[in-house]
Amino acid sequence: MEYEDSKKNLGNLIIWADQNTDKRSRNEATTRLHLIDRLFFECLGWQHEDCTAEERVNGKYIDYSFRCPECLLVVEAKKEGVYFELPVGKSRQKQDIKFFLDNFPKVYKAIEQATSYCQSHGTPYGAVCNGHQLIIFVASRTDGRPPLDGKVLVFNSLPNLYENFLLVWQCLSKLGIVSRHLSIELQDVSIAPVPEKLSKGITG
């Protein structure tokens, strides 16, 4: 699926969601069917054969596991009523995970749950989505920092997703996940220089 077609599909999804605002009481299963499925399969280049739904791990179920071919992304779906708000004037897409612990504990719990799933699965990336809002993060870090001490990319509405679709595509599309662009976006993936004293002791 091409980038432009995917962005057009997202525009169509926004129109559909606006026309069906009376269904805001959708439960988790209906939210997945009406909104989250369309977001990932129509707007982000994933195929149904890439996804395993309701996979059981350690006695719990993962809503979506995306593979290419190994599992690279876990998505925790929430019903539409689980919302969050960003501080007034907050324009950047990056947010500390601890912000949700302090202000939206239900959202933090979903991030924590998805992170646990990822670590049990050896999966690098996680996401939480309620159909309208999306949080994506690195769940298995390579910089020695605990995942829950890191940052997330936050998109607080479908129009916000559309406005920042290049970033969304780079980080969450099938091609973006395979290229691991989210790691570059959210953590320092550069190689640290050799400490000075050690480097002086290294000879050819």
Q: Which domain, by its residues, includes 14?
A: 3-188
Find out whether 42 and 6 touch, Cβ atoms under 8 Å.
yes
Residue 202 placed within a domain: no
Domain count across the chain: 1
203 has pLDDT over 60? no
In a domain, 33, yes or no: yes
CA distances in angstroms from 72 to 13, 138, 173, 174, listed in the order given: 25, 10, 11, 10
Q: CATH no. for residue 107?
A: 3.90.1570.30
> Which backbone phi and psi does 67 adopt, to 5 degrees?
-120, 150
pLDDT per residue as tens digits for the range 176-202:
999 999 999 997 554 334 344 444 444
Distance separating alpha carbons of residues 41 and 190, to the nearest angstrom: 32
Cα–Cα nearest to 66, from 182, 156, 189 = 182
Query: Which pLDDT score, from 0 to 100, does residue 28 have?
Result: 54
Q: Considering the domain boundaries, does residue 41 fall inside one?
A: yes
